[in-house]
Amino acid sequence: MFDDLRDLYQEVILDHGRKPRNFRRLEDADRSARGDNPMCGDRMELWLKLGPEGEIADAAFLGRGCAISMASASLMTETVKGKTQAQAKEMGEKFRILAMTGTCPECNGAIAEDMERLAPLSGVHEFPSRVKCATLAWHTLKAALEGTKEATSE
């Protein structure tokens, strides 16, 4: 009955949804922000630790939400580690395009490999009401980096 939904719920998404990585509070974080999706109740808190060059040395989150939003946050914390802040923001922009269109023609260069890891989430583009589930984590990351503290994917 649900076979065609395997494009949306790929094994990697179900896995990260069930067992999100970096699912913990980061003590002595340099940046943090809360992400909220008031319509559905998804909520997360994100912490970042910055390295000597201002790069993202560590990222972790806690929160609640659907499989898509949890998996997206989990994959995000894995992929932004070691990236410069500018790269992380660029990845967020590209991810938004990926989630909305299903493709990312300009996902190349230094971030190409990491964008490839996020590709399993591209299936949400066929589910307009679910795009915001996938992008909440990245909105929250942007808020943390820009110091706005609160993000919403509404």
Partner 1 sequence: MNVTLKPAPASLDVARIRRDFPILSQTVRGRPLVFLDSGASAQKPRAVIEAMVRCMETAYANVHRGAYHLSEVATESYEAARAAAARFLNAADPREIVFTRNSTEAINLVAHSWGRGVMKPGQAVLVSEMEHHANLVPWQMLRDDGRGIELRVCRVNDEGELDLEDLAVKLADGKVGLVAVTHMSNVLGTVTPVERIVALAHAHGAKVLLDGSQAAVHRRVDVQAIGCDFYCFTGHKLYGPTGIGVLWARLEHLERMPPFLGGGDMIASVTLERSEWAPPPAKFEAGTPPIVEAVGLHAAIDYVTAVGMPAIEAHERALVDHAMRRLSEVEGLTLLGRAQDRGGVFSFTLDNAHPHDLSTLLDRAGIAVRAGRHCAEPLHTRFGLEGGTCRASFGLYTTCEEIDVLAEALVKAREFFA
Residues engaged in binding partner 1 (CB under 8 A): 1-2, 4-5, 8-9, 14, 39-43, 64-68, 127, 130, 133
Give me the torsion for CA of 98, 67, 147, 125, rounded to 10°: 20
For residue 137, the minimal CB distance to partner 1 (Å) is: 15
* Of residues 14 and 57, the one with the C-beta less far from partner 1: 14
Could you give the CA distance from residue 102 to residue 150 in angstroms, rounded to a whole number?
27
For residue 52, the minimal CB distance to partner 1 (Å) is: 39
* Of residues 124 and 145, the one with the C-beta less far from partner 1: 124
Among 39, 104, 117, 35, which Cα is nearest to 70's? 35
For residue 99, the minimal CB distance to partner 1 (Å) is: 15
Residue type for position 79? T
